[in-house]
Chains A and B, each alone.
Chain A
């Protein structure tokens, strides 16, 4: 898989992975901006509004007809939180031209439409259409409110909100209700123009077309992109220690039978010069999902040995330096689960794990990375984070690095890990009660 990276225009970068392996080609476009409570909802609403209609395909019916005619290509709004950066734009996927008769490759048409969505939306008097903005504001509000429906994800995001007051990291990718409600078409148009002029932009392509061809089509499609003074001041502040000396606990209630426990840890010193391979192996050992998951400390002990839960896992955010542990339990088992989870974290920190566990975690991370090379969506997400962090190595290199992680590397990666907050979504009467 051939990777190239180039700057198409000031602050607009294209990463191309050329491969004949897939029948699907994938394209993405993301404007990068600092995650901020004041603007997060506006940013999140924008791709949806732009996706409503363009100059040449003025409404969703026309857009759908265009995309269906391109062998059912998709262009979908994308809103992500990467550390304290908010990335907003579109992800497109289409049949790779190599699988279609000559002359039928939809790539150039999809790129042109993508460029049009970003730069030439359907406007009146230079303003985004009020009906589109109002409609998408309501959809965004529905999405923000519907976060409670998924109890597990909700508990995880409430943990982060409560754990990180004063940090941009507390802000959800979609923003919050209050700022979303205030979205109007005049201000959003102004905000849109600012983003276009000031935000760095990341483009990504994975498929069989040569990078030159993709770059030429994108340069063409984005020719009208205004480039002003670029906002280079985006990044993630890494908090090295816990917010308070002691552990903070938060309990909220919802009408549920199963309680959701979420614990947030700061990685501390390991984030000075993060060893990404060691951090991943450490997290795999603890409960990080992927191939090693069923052999991880959390799965084997909290689920299999103690039968406390169906799901328990840890997630690692290498950008922010935070590990979260999540699990769904009978509310009566809360204390038992907390101490069981604490014991697993302690075992990782103290080196209280076997060589077999370490080997499995290493092999698992390595296999996960190699499997990633077969997944265009996974590669897209991987490279966007790498490019934001200025890291140049790919999944294969990371797989090889993981194989070399030692016991000491893992202990070092976990050494500064400190639990900062515990969140428990409990059953029972519905009365808001947070710490």
Chain B
């Protein structure tokens, strides 16, 4: 494996690409008790239409997530008990962009790694087991629908992307869409996307990088398989499909989620600079130190529940801002107005310093570390170059980015209001 040093951060990354196309990343963490391995496929809730070797496949919403649930079944039973018997904490999640299978352990890392690689590469579905899962996933979806924070976020994505784009649908799908999931759908998706060249294996812990690579070679097929071609539909453009939505739920005070599309996400080394510029700009405009946020906090129009996110999936980037507010429209107006003013240079330098501190501390977070390496793998950039990339971003870059991307007229706003307020 090739070792890359990042002296400023006191980190070494070992990486290689196996002949079958799998990308392997290992960050040794000497002296740590726990190890984390994530085996991640670039296949998420947004990858619903694809072509594999000339054959087109159109799948219902929620299939990537359904597949994630069913991967834990092996011909010998549930793989859960294998990890649990060794004291490894295993789980998985599905986002719009990826499905990640991971474990954290303090003992027998190599055995757990073999189990991880084996079970994710072994599709084993029967009509009975697929049927049985529908009740569990149905309750997971029901839980999301009752969760006002989740509901207001999903409403916002629907406003931004509508029914024409996969980002407009919930990752888990709906009770109706998952009713269409069959063993055939699951096998087809596994065959297309769970191939080494579409996956990354990311490890952090006190482990031997060469052993990780060797085990990956031994457990996975040697030959590369053909890659699927994804179809996310027509370019969704920058305008939201709709601008406002409002509904009533059992909540204490109005919840809001505002969103804006940023357009196609960059790929390759430029992607890191673009993401960091955007993150820094958002931090300067809306972070917990930002004048706009603090003014709204002092006025009582925002509280600590406020947060914003920059996301990338299905080739698109978008930003969402969520929180609780007695007057969401006024809060959003003040937040978007902040984007029109240039950022103060002294304030900017402090934000940069704070962001730098954040990068250093994030290296202790194995979840963050392994998942960001996978994201970088699929996006064609190296997330560990963040400190030096950040260093080259100036105050003017940040102001220019905000002026270009955050036009007040392009925000969509979803609100969930309490019952009494409406009456």
What is A's interface to B at a CB cutoff of 8 Å?
20-24, 60-61, 64-65, 67-73, 93-95, 99-100, 135, 138-139, 142-143, 145-152, 254-258, 290-295, 303-304, 307-311, 328-330, 356, 359-360, 363-364, 366-368, 370-371, 373-374, 376, 430
Q: Is the CB of A93 within 8 A of B361?
A: yes
A90 to chain B: closest CB distance in Å?
Answer: 14
* Contact (Cβ within 8 A) A95 B253: no
Within the complex, which residue of A22, A100, A371 is in contact with B89, where a contact is CB–CB below 8 Å? Answer: A371
Q: Which of A21, A24, A138, A366 sits near B32, CB closer than 8 Å?
A: A21
B324, CB-defined interface residue at 8 Å: yes
Cβ A256 vs Cβ B354 within 8 A? no
Is there a chain A Cβ closer than 8 Å to B87's Cβ?
Answer: yes
Shortest distance from the beta carbon of A333 to any chain B beta carbon, whole Å: 9
Q: Are B291 and A61 in contact (CB under 8 A)?
A: yes
Residues in A with CB closer than 8 Å to B255 are 149
Determine whether B355 belongs to the interface, using a CB cutoff of 8 Å to chain A.
Answer: yes
B side interface size, CB within 8 A? 68
Task: Tell me, yes or no, whether B234 is within 8 Å of chain A by CB.
Answer: no
Set A99, A256, A329, A371: member contacting B360, Cβ < 8 A: A99
Select which of A20, A71, A255 is within 8 A of B357 by beta carbon. Answer: A71
- Indicate with 1 or 0, residue by residue over B116-141, a CB within 8 angstroms of chain A CB atoms: 00000000000000001111111110
Ranked nearest first, the 8 interchain pairs of A and B with the lowest CB-CB distance are A72-B354, A71-B357, A367-B87, A307-B135, A145-B252, A64-B289, A294-B80, A72-B357
Given contacts A24-B361, A256-B146, A329-B139, whether A146 and B107 have CB atoms under 8 Å apart is: no
Which positions 328-362 of chain B face chain A at CB distance < 8 Å? 347, 350-351, 353-358, 360-361
Question: Other CB < 8 Å A-B pairs besides A21-B32, A148-B250, A370-B33, 9 of them?
Answer: A24-B364, A71-B360, A95-B357, A95-B360, A139-B304, A150-B147, A311-B143, A370-B34, A374-B34
What is the bound-complex CA distance between A330 and B253, given in angstroms?
26
In this complex, which of B33, B88, B298, B357 has the most chain A Cβ atoms within 10 angstroms of its Cβ? B357
Would you call A371 and B84 a contact (CB within 8 A)? no
Q: Please, which residue of chain B has its CB at the minimum distance from the CB of A399? A: B106
CB-contacts of B157-196 with A (<8 A): none
Report the separation of the CA atoms of residues A209 and B132 in the bound assembly, to the nearest whole angstrom.
54
Instruction: Give B contacts to A, CB under 8 Å.
Output: 9-10, 31-34, 78, 80-81, 83-90, 104-107, 132-140, 142-143, 145-149, 249-253, 255, 288-289, 291, 294, 297-298, 300, 303-305, 324, 347, 350-351, 353-358, 360-361, 363-364, 419
Shortest distance from the beta carbon of B411 to any chain A beta carbon, whole Å: 23
Partner of A304, one of B78, B289, B356, B363: B78
Q: Chain B interface mostly helix, strand, loop or mixed?
A: helix
The docked-state distance in angstroms from the alpha carbon of A149 to that of B418 is 10
CB-based contact A371/B33 at 8 Å: yes
Select which of A61, A152, A295 is within 8 A of B81 by beta carbon. A295
The number of inter-chain residue pairs (CB within 8 angstroms) is 185
A139: B residues at CB distance < 8 A = 300, 303-304
Cα A148 to Cα B420 with chains together (Å): 14
Interface pair B87/A363, CB less than 8 Å apart: yes
- Contact call A145/B363, Cβ cutoff below 8 A: no
A310 to B178, CA, bound (A): 15
Point out which of A99, A294, A360, A364 has the most chain B C-beta atoms below 10 A from its C-beta: A294
Q: How far is the CB of B49 from chain A (nearest CB, A)?
A: 27
- On chain A, the residues within 8 Å of B289 by CB distance are 61, 64-65, 67-68
Chain A residue contacts of B251, Cβ below 8 A? 146, 148-149
A21–B353 alpha-carbon span in the complex (Å): 23
- In the complex, A147→B34 CA distance in Å? 34
CA distance A157 to B297 in the complex (A): 28
Contact status B31-A20, CB under 8 Å: yes
Which residues from chain A contact B139 at a C-beta distance below 8 Å? Answer: 258, 308-311, 328-330
CB–CB A371/B364 < 8 A: no
Once A145-B253, A151-B147, A295-B85 are accepted as A-B contacts, the answer to whether A430 and B419 lie under 8 Å apart by CB is yes
> What is the CB-to-nearest-CB distance from A141 to chain B, in angstroms, rounded to a whole number?
9
| Cross-chain contact B137 with A71 (CB below 8 angstroms) | no
Find out whether the CB atom of A71 lies under 8 angstroms from the CB atom of B33.
no
CA distance A100 to B387 in the complex (A): 13
Measured in the bound complex, the distance between the Cα atoms of B136 and A78 in whole Å is: 35
Contact A363 B249 (CB under 8 A): no
Q: Among B83, B250, B353, point to the contact of A255 (Cβ < 8 A).
A: B250
Chain A minimum-CB-distance residue to B205? A374
User: Are B80 and A68 interface neighbours, CB within 8 A?
Assistant: no
Q: How far is it, in angstroms, between the C-alpha of A231 and the C-alpha of B381 when the chains are bound?
A: 57
| A60–B84 touching, CB < 8 Å | no
Are A367 and B89 interface neighbours, CB within 8 A? Answer: yes
Closest to A94 in B: B357
The answer to whether B89 and A23 have CB atoms under 8 Å apart is no
What is the minimal beta-carbon distance from A129 to any residue of chain B, in angstroms? 12
CA distance A143 to B304 in the complex (A): 9
Give min CB distance, A367 to chain B, whole Å. Answer: 3
B350 engages A310 (CB within 8 Å): no
Taken together as a complex, chains A and B put the C-alpha atoms of A147 and B140 apart, in Å, by 20
**A22 CB contacts on chain B under 8 angstroms:** 364
How many Å lie between the Cα of A364 and that of B81 in the bound state?
A: 11
Contacts of A295 in B (CB 8 A): 80-81, 84-85
Cα A123 to Cα B360 with chains together (Å): 36
Quick check: A367 and B135 within 8 Å, CB to CB?
A: no
CB pair A368–B89 under 8 Å, yes or no, is yes
**A373–B87 CA distance with the chains assembled, in angstroms:** 15
